[in-house]
Amino acid sequence: MHFETSGEPLAQQVWPSQPDVPRYRFVGQLTGENNFRRDQQSQEIGQKVFGWLVGLVSSKHTPVVLQRPQGGYTDKDGRVYITDVSRAAVYVFDQVAGQFLVWEMAGKGIRFKTPIGIVPGAEEGILVVDADLAQVVLLDNSGEPVGSFGKGLLERPVGIARDIDRGRIYVSDSQAHNIKVFDNDGKFLRVIGQRGEGPGEFNAPTYMAFAHGKLYVTDTLNSRIQIFNREDEVVSTVGRRGLYLGDMPRPKGVATDADHNIYVVESYYDYLLIFNEKGEFLLPIGGTGSRVGEFYLPAGVWTDERDRIYVADSFNGRIMVFEYLREVQEAG
């Protein structure tokens, strides 16, 4: 892998800063074709080498770059799939094959319009929520559209999450102020919630995640994260409306890690907020800007099997990647 530095030693790009014990480390960023290059050995066999860019985005022209990334996920092999509402496409960073791909088609003769939520499919392939097409699109592993569901039922879907063990697909319908549940075949099963401010009610739900047997829903205009069990019951909430650091005027992306820490993108003040399993605020990463660890209107967030945290830094056109320093926590 190759790295470009920002002039600041990588070891110092941690949160919180010294003398506190570091909990998170900056890994790099995904911007587009900048993340792939050819070295002398790979040129001989026609391959590209993938690397995490560390530091600021190069000012040089790049043919294909992220424009307004929204959501994403990382598979077990390290491939990163990202939705982009400006390009109206899905980007694929395939470091295994050394390929950077752009998938634009949602059906035969139909292009994506506003792809936002994205998760792996039940068998193979990828599920993509398109807000303006008002449906969930199934792509095969090569990016070809092979089906869809939710047309006529969904008004303006945004987020998507899967309960793999029970074969359930959850889709947040922001305009209808509820969550619609489907099975793995796309059959509609039930609705969770309605418009309101009480437990289990929503005001423009957006991003979601399913982990540890629970559904995490960003209840955006109610300024909170609602957490449901498999019986559709609210078991806890995280966040509140306010102006202090740790409050959630406009929460968007939500994710968890193996230790049940909860990550929330707070888009109004450009922060990644980190809470423990009890909903207690631990620390922030961010602030408005374009330097390392800063964001400009961030959107989605997700984690991978290596405890890396990916933040869709939308208006900076990049994915910022951090690592949860679990060994440091265990040693402490």
Ramachandran area for residue 306 (φ above 0: left; ψ -120 to 50: alpha; else beta): alpha
Confidence class for position 124, pLDDT limits 50, 70, 90? confident
Exposed/middle/buried for 41, CB within 10 Å: 0-12, 13-18, 19+? exposed
> What's the residue count for the chain?
332
pLDDT of 154 reads 98
Mean confidence (pLDDT) of the chain: 91
pLDDT digits (tens, 9 = 90+) for 267-309: 999 999 999 999 999 999 999 999 999 999 999 999 999 999 9
Q: b/e per residue, 48-75, with b = 16+ CB within 10 A?
A: bbbbbbbbbbeeeeeeebbbbbbbbbbe
3-class state of residue 293 by DSSP: coil
Tell me the pLDDT tens digit for each residue of 190-201: 999 999 999 999
Closest CA to 173 of 189, 156, 161: 156
Chain-centroid distance, C-alpha 89: 15
DSSP state at residue 57: P
Nearest C-alpha neighbor of 50 from the set 88, 95, 5:
95
Nearest CA among 94, 57, 71, 7 for reference residue 254: 71
Please state the pTM of the whole predicted model.
0.92
For residue 203, what pLDDT is reported?
Answer: 98
The 10s digit of each residue's pLDDT in 230-260 is 999 999 999 999 989 999 999 999 999 999 9
Q: Confidence band (pLDDT; 50, 70, 90) for 4?
A: very low
Residue 33 three-state SS: helix
Range of lowest pLDDT (35-49, 77-91, 134-148, 262-276) = 35-49
* Helical H segments across 229-279, by residue range: none
Question: In this structure, are residues 120 and 76 in contact, taking their beta carbons and an 8 Å threshold?
Answer: no
Q: Give how far Cα 196 sits from Cα of 72, 160, 171, 180, Å.
A: 28, 21, 18, 16
Q: Are strands 24-30 and 318-324 parallel, antiparallel or unpaired?
A: antiparallel
Share of the chain above pLDDT 70, in %: 89
Residue that wins the pLDDT comparison between 123 and 223: 223
Q: What domains lie within the chain, and their CATH numbers? A: 16-331 (2.120.10.30)
**Amino acid sitting at position 256:** T
**Which residues touch 9 (CB under 8 Å, ≥6 apart)?**
none
Q: For the chain, how far is it from start to end, CA to CA, in angstroms?
A: 31
pLDDT of residue 331: 55
Question: Rounded to an integer, what distance in angstroms lies between the CA atom of residue 132 and that of residue 41?
Answer: 45
Residue 6 has pLDDT above 50, yes or no: no
Please give the C-alpha separations between residue 123 and each of 46, 76, 105, 185, in angstroms, as whole numbers: 32, 14, 20, 10
Give yes or no for residue 123 having a pLDDT over 90.
no
**How far is CA 232 from each of CA 101, 160, 183, 197, 215, rounded to the nearest angstrom?**
37, 16, 15, 16, 9
How many other C-beta atoms lie within 10 A of the C-beta of residue 102?
A: 13
- Does 26 have pLDDT greater than 50? yes
Q: Is the pLDDT of residue 1 over 60?
A: no
Mean per-residue pLDDT, 158-168: 97
Say how far residue 105 (Cα) sits from the centre of its chain: 21
Written as one string, the DSSP assignment of 102-146 is EE-EEETTEE-SSEEEEEE-SSSSEEEEETTTTEEEEE-TTS-EE
CA–CA dist 128, 121 (Å, integer)? 9
